[in-house]
């Protein structure tokens, strides 16, 4: 090994967060990495066209990352049904290109996937090796991205499947519900889809813990417990004290272009085995989100009563 190679091994490049400037998860990752003592670089849309392999290669050669966190995805689930090629470019081709560049350039790849890779017919929390069966273009393209990474098999890859994200920095299900409740007495919310609500702050922390533990492979990373969309909305409204009733409706009462899994609760057993960490319940995470991150939203409520 040359002196230059020895120096590079002793001082690996920074952690690069794709989507780190404006993405909900990307911003949380930047904060978590800083708290853990990592040097991190945030990528934004103006920095590089991620759909161009040549542009991506040149960008990575310039940044020289030691780790790349891919927090970029095509997440418009219903729109993906009409734009399958666009969804595939970000959800399948980008992670495949990152995996090949990881193998060639030596950085570690941490990629994020989704509970939508499952068909929702289970009754117990899904383990990482349970059979998949996506119901939508979004789910199929995300699964294809997972499979591409595993096929290339770059050294030390990590895939974190997660679900039902809420957190600071971007509009999400919780902010949508609370904004509706500011102007309505009743809001209808689906009650027959059950999943794993996840706070992006906790997800980012756990992803960094996997990295620092030297883990590799496929993991489910979500907050503990399960809820329906209706239960999640009800708890958020209860915590804020908004005078709004959340009424349960079936999926058939809120039709969407893309099918959603009815049951997509994820088991974090593999994550805990790798890190020794047990994620906290989603209800505790939601409380932190509302009282720490939504202060500006909550303060005006006094004038409404």
Residues paired with 42 in a beta bridge = 17
Which pLDDT score, from 0 to 100, does residue 254 have? 83
Looking at the chain, how many residues does it have? 305
Cβ neighbours, 10 Å, residue 186:
10
Which pLDDT score, from 0 to 100, does residue 104 have? 94
Q: What single string gives the DSSP state of each residue in 9-31?
A: HHS--PEEEETTTT-HHHHHHHH
Phi, psi of 296 (to 5 degrees): -65, -30
pLDDT in 10s for each residue of the chain, 305 residues = 333 333 334 347 899 999 999 999 999 999 999 999 999 999 988 999 999 999 999 999 999 999 999 999 999 999 999 999 999 999 999 999 999 999 999 999 999 999 999 999 988 999 999 999 999 999 999 999 999 999 999 999 999 999 999 999 888 999 999 999 988 999 999 999 999 999 999 999 999 999 999 999 999 999 999 999 999 999 999 999 898 999 999 998 888 899 999 999 999 999 999 999 999 999 999 999 999 888 766 655 443 43
Asked if 160 and 221 touch (Cβ cutoff 8 Å), the reply is: yes
Please list the active-site residues. Answer: 138
Q: Which two tokens stand for residue 168?
A: 């600071």
Which pLDDT score, from 0 to 100, does residue 283 have? 97
Distance (Å) of CA 239 to CA 178, 191, 291, 299, 303: 11, 19, 9, 13, 17
Q: Where does residue 5 rank: exposed (0-12), middle (13-18), buried (19+ CB within 10 A)?
A: exposed
How many whole angstroms separate alpha carbon 225 and alpha carbon 25?
20
Which pLDDT score, from 0 to 100, does residue 160 have? 98
> Domains plus CATH for the chain?
3-170+197-225+265-281 (3.40.50.720)
- The position carrying tokens 């020794």 is 276
Give pTM, 2 decimals: 0.90
């Amino acid at each position: 090994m040359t002196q230059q190679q020895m120096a590079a091994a002793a001082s690996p490049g920074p952690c690069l967060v794709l989507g780190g400037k404006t993405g909900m998860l990307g911003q949380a990752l930047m904060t978590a990495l800083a708290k853990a003592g990592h040097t991190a670089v945030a990528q934004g849309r103006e920095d590089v066209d991620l759909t161009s392999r040549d542009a991506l290669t040149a960008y990575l050669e310039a940044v020289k990352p030691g780790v790349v966190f891919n927090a970029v995805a095509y997440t418009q689930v219903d729109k993906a049904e009409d734009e399958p090629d666009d969804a595939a470019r970000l959800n399948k081709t980008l992670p495949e290109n990152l995996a090949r560049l990881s193998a060639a350039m030596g950085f570690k790849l941490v990629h994020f996937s989704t509970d939508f890779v499952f068909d929702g017919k289970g009754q117990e929390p899904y383990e990482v090796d349970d059979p998949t069966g996506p119901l939508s273009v979004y789910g199929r393209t995300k699964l294809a991205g997972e499979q591409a990474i595993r096929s290339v098999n770059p050294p030390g890859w990590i895939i974190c499947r997660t679900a039902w994200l809420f957190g600071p920095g971007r509009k999400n299900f919780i902010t949508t519900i609370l904004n509706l409740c500011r102007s309505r007495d009743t809001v209808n919310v689906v009650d027959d889809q059950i999943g794993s609500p996840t706070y992006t702050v906790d997800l980012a922390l756990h992803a960094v813990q996997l990295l620092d533990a030297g883990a590799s492979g496929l993991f489910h990373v979500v907050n503990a417990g399960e809820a329906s969309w209706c239960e999640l909305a009800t708890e958020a409204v209860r915590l804020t004290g908004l005078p709004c009733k959340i009424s349960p409706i079936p999926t058939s009462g809120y039709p969407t272009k893309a099918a959603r899994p009815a049951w997509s609760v994820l088991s974090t057993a593999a994550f805990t085995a790798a890190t020794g960490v047990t994620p906290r319940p989603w209800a505790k995470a939601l409380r932190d989100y509302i009282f720490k991150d939504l202060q500006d939203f909550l303060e005006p409520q006094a004038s409404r009563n």
